[in-house]
Structure 1
């Protein structure tokens, strides 16, 4: 088992390796979309408004956005409504 310090260090190292993604969740339809990958957070922030505008044009509701470093398994995840 890794010590807490080694675990935190491992997490920090892996975070730097992961690319940046724009994660957008919508309530209607109930989906999570990932747009990217981007080399840095600035590039992701510059692109996010275009993705939001497309979803608004498609009549999506309840849009929330988060920019984060990750490695998504799928680019679109359809979820069951709450």
Structure 2
């Protein structure tokens, strides 16, 4: 029942999300949706810890009502083909 309520709130953009912005890499992450701000705040700590463990710097987080179109927005990771071709992975030529 709770999942149905969260889905309904999210559909209307009324669910709560954790927005985490990192300076390095320059990314915005959305985690959620949550039914209450209390649930979002409790989960926020774990998301920040995970990003710190992955080496992210300049982390800020906020709780907001929104309906993100994308869960990850990477501003400085580049695009495949930026260097004129496709990446070659180990074992490929």
TM-score (ref. length: structure 1): 0.76
Q: Which of 23, 26, 37 is matched with 1:27 structurally? A: 23
Superposition RMSD on alpha carbons, in Å?
1.6
Write the distance in 2 (CA, Å) between the matches of 1:62 and 1:17. Answer: 28
Partner in structure 1 of residue 43 of structure 2: 47
Kindly tell me the number of residue pairs found equivalent between the two proteins.
66
Runs of at least 4 residues off by over 6 Å: none
Q: Which runs of 5+ in 1 are unaligned?
A: 1-15
Q: Which runs of 5+ in 2 are unaligned?
A: 1-11, 78-93
TM-score (ref. length: structure 2): 0.67
Partner in structure 2 of residue 69 of structure 1: 65
Q: Could you say which structure has the higher helix fraction? A: 1
Relative contact order: is structure 1 or structure 2 higher (C-alpha 8 Å, sep ≥ 6)? 1
